[in-house]
Structure 1
Amino acid sequence: MDNSGIPRADLVYNWIKTRIREGSLRPGTRLREAELAEVVGVSRTPVREAINRLISEGQLVMGPGRGFTVAKLDRQQVIELYALREFLEAASARFAAQHASEPEIESLRELLDGSRVLFDDPPQLAILNKRFHLAISSAGHNRYSEQALTRLADFLGLVPGTTFQMEGRPAAVYEEHKAILDAIADRDADRAEAAARYHIHHAGKARLKLLFDQI
């Protein structure tokens, strides 16, 4: 791995966080210092530093023996996560309605249109869904909102699976996304905020049903 002047502990930290966010390190996955050191190409000392940092942030937990595992969120943690997400995504949509450029709105429309052909491909639809939400955040032109949503995305990576595998959810999300985008394009900040709140509220309910079979 090309270190590029980045501190080795940061390399390991970013390597683990990226894979949690992308879903290749799923909740409950066991990690070992020696294996991480070999994969990332560093000694065990920076691996230990990165692991301790991720434990303090709640993304890793100590496992049996000398191992560590990717954290699993319980029902209450998922509820709290989506409550915060609802608040942040609503603010992001409001900012986008106020500040998005026409090219940014057009890019959002292209992402929305692209989702229509992926209803039968939940994994790819989930990837496009992330891009859509990131594009709204970027179009809001509020650096602190973007930072908060990026931090939130780290913990969303601890929620396994995708609700797009649930019957009817892809079509429902398309309509919810369309409502958000239409409000942004109309420069209606109140409507954009309300549409985003509605969308994330229902996303949270779907997630709880998927994970815990209850709403």
Structure 2
Amino acid sequence: MNERTRRPRRSAIGGVDIFGILRERISSHALPPGSRLREQDLASEFDVSRARIREAFGALEQRGLIERIPNRGAVVVRLDPRQMYDLYDVRRVLEAYVARLAAERAPEGAWAELVERFGRPLEKSIADGDFDTYLNALEALHARMVEHAGNSILADMLDLIGDKTQVISRRVIILPGRAEIGLKMHRQLLAALARRDPDAAEAEMREILSSARDYLEKFHNFVI
């Protein structure tokens, strides 16, 4: 059992963030598709009532991460290939627009830290098989783009579908050659953002997600 599992983090109001912890376990594949979530076991782990666990289950179900099956309980949703392709198509539209807005609205020098972060050290991390460092860098870039885009509706939409795509993204990243290709493409995206070129930033983001979707189709038997 890892540190994240042993020590439940606390929410801002002092309670255990059960939804956040379970959401993270699902996205990191610590709870793979088909896993059963038992109310009593989780209530004991987090030292809360079963009603609190059911409340977290409701939020997870609303996001499409689990389903509650009669006589079986809560189960992590298995990934449907068609739905995954559709999600990538939606992301391609939404995130390309986010990239455009971020290029237009970010202040001068806003991307310098990330340009450095996507430099040689990250290249070495990938070569060493440290995909978590690469994934963290991608998440930081995504969060910064959403922040500078300044569109709360877009942010909410991406947050909603992000839970479902994060599981797949973690698997796509480790496919042969994918991280190296992705790093090169994200460097090109950062270059477009840094020079405040919205057309290029939008095009680069579309290409990144089109390429990821192509990998998903090519290796779908391994990924899904």
Given the two structures, how large is their TM-score scaled by the length of structure 2? Answer: 0.82
Aligned-partner residue type, residue 116 of structure 1: E
Separation in structure 2 between the aligned mates of residue 160 and residue 175 of structure 1, nearest angstrom: 17
Shift of 1:171: 2.0
CA spacing shift, 1:159–1:213, aligned 2, 3 Å: closer
Instruction: Tell me, yes or no, if the aligned pair for 2:94 and 2:158 is still in contact at 8 Å.
Output: yes
Are positions 1:110 and 2:119 aligned together? no
Superposed CA deviations along residues 128-151 of structure 1, whole A, max 9, x for unmatched, are: 222222222223233332222222
Superposed CA deviations along residues 46-79 of structure 1, whole A, max 9, x for unmatched, are: 2123213322432102357333211122110101
Are positions 1:167 and 2:173 aligned together? no
Structure 1 match to 2:140: 131
Choose 82-91 or 58-67, whichever is displaced more: 58-67
Structure 2 match to 1:189: 198
Q: How many residues align?
A: 212
Structure 2 match to 1:88: 94
Instruction: Tell me, yes or no, if the aligned pair for 1:96 and 1:136 is still in contact at 8 Å.
Output: yes
Shift of 1:94: 0.4
Choose 116-125 or 41-50, whichever is displaced more: 116-125
Aligned-partner residue type, residue 117 of structure 1: K
Separation in structure 2 between the aligned mates of residue 37 and residue 196 of structure 1, nearest angstrom: 42
Structure 1 match to 2:106: 100
Name the SS for the 1:102 alignment partner.
coil
Which segments of 5 or more consecutive residues in structure 2 lack a partner in the other structure? 1-7
CA spacing shift, 1:3–1:99, aligned 2, 3 Å: closer
Shift of 1:178: 1.6
Shift of 1:6: 6.3
Aligned-partner residue type, residue 61 of structure 1: E
Matches within 5 A, 1:19-58: 19-58=25-64
Instruction: Tell me, yes or no, if the aligned pair for 1:88 and 1:149 is still in contact at 8 Å.
Output: yes
CA spacing shift, 1:63–1:210, aligned 2, 3 Å: farther
Instruction: Tell me, yes or no, if the aligned pair for 1:184 and 1:192 is still in contact at 8 Å.
Output: yes
1:202 corresponds to which of 199, 211, 222:
211
Shift of 1:210: 2.8
Are positions 1:146 and 2:152 aligned together? no
Cα root mean square deviation, aligned = 2.5
Instruction: Tell me, yes or no, if the aligned pair for 1:27 and 1:158 is still in contact at 8 Å.
Output: no
Shift of 1:96: 1.2
Which segments of 5 or more consecutive residues in structure 1 lack a partner in the other structure? none
Separation in structure 2 between the aligned mates of residue 87 and residue 4 of structure 1, nearest angstrom: 34
Instruction: Tell me, yes or no, if the aligned pair for 1:78 and 1:208 is still in contact at 8 Å.
Output: no
Choose 102-111 or 39-48, whichever is displaced more: 102-111
Name the SS for the 1:159 alignment partner.
helix
Matched-pair identity in %: 28
Name the SS for the 1:24 alignment partner.
coil
Superposed CA deviations along residues 185-205 of structure 1, whole A, max 9, x for unmatched, are: 121111110110011111111
| Dislocated runs of 4+, deviation >4 Å | 1-4
Shift of 1:7: 7.3
Superposed CA deviations along residues 7-46 of structure 1, whole A, max 9, x for unmatched, are: 77xx332332233234433222221001111122210012
1:18 corresponds to which of 8, 11, 24:
24
Separation in structure 2 between the aligned mates of residue 96 and residue 158 of structure 1, nearest angstrom: 25
